[in-house]
Amino acid sequence: MAKLILILIIASQLLLLTAVVSAGKGGDFAKVIDRKLLGLRKEKLTFFRVYWHDIQSGSNPTSVVLRPPLSNSSFFGAVTVIDNRLTTGVPVNSTLVGQAQGIYAAVGQHDSSALMVMNFAFKTGKYNGSTISILGRNEVLTKVREMPVIGGSGLFRFARGYVEARTMWFDQKTGDATVEYSCYVMHY
């Protein structure tokens, strides 16, 4: 009987040791799943055009400089946080479809480039509650700038694509601007 108990103890310790060793390998932390389990169907390409209103002037700005530039000769080092209106037209009072929320930072010491980190959060219609995330370099003085769409949520879950930005108008005195964003987004 003592032999049987000893064998059971040794066997249980070996099983425990095997479980600990196999758990430590980390082989089971990821697995392939069927995309249908997440409700993912055929991938689609959606195009939309919105107008981004960057308002730094007045009593209710949507763009606030958190850190001013390092010198007067360039904008390098300036960091701005935004909660800009996204509309269907160039006038700021056009139909609101969402908000552009994020940060842009002047990153070019010898040019006027900015790092854009922002979400387009849609508030109306079919895309209400959905977002796309944009992260990229924006060479502000170039006529057409391209930045990547790196993700999204809601109807834009698993999004990828790009946006083209074109400045419609810019007020040098106030810093206010309206930029057209043409968005090409692949999603499920």
Answer whether residue 103 is part of any domain: yes
- Dump pLDDT digits (tens) for 27-82: 677 888 887 887 778 899 999 999 999 999 999 999 999 998 887 777 899 999 99
pLDDT band at 24 (very low <50, low <70, confident <90, very high): low
Answer whether residue 11 is part of any domain: no
Which pLDDT score is estimated for 42? 87
**CB contact at 8 A, 94 and 51:** yes
Answer whether residue 1 is part of any domain: no
**CB contact at 8 A, 99 and 87:** no
CB atoms within 10 A of CB 58: 9
Question: Does the structure show a pLDDT above 70 at 8?
Answer: no
Parent domain of 158? 41-187
Question: Does the structure show a pLDDT above 70 at 7?
Answer: no
Answer whether residue 7 is part of any domain: no
3-state secondary structure of 66: strand
pTM beyond 0.85, yes or no:
no
- Dump pLDDT digits (tens) for 81-128: 999 999 999 999 999 999 999 999 999 998 999 999 999 999 999 999
Question: Does the structure show a pLDDT above 80 at 12?
Answer: no
Answer whether residue 143 is part of any domain: yes
Apex 123 CA angle, 121 and 127, nearest 5: 80
Number of domains making up the chain: 1
Report the amino acid identity of residue 79: V
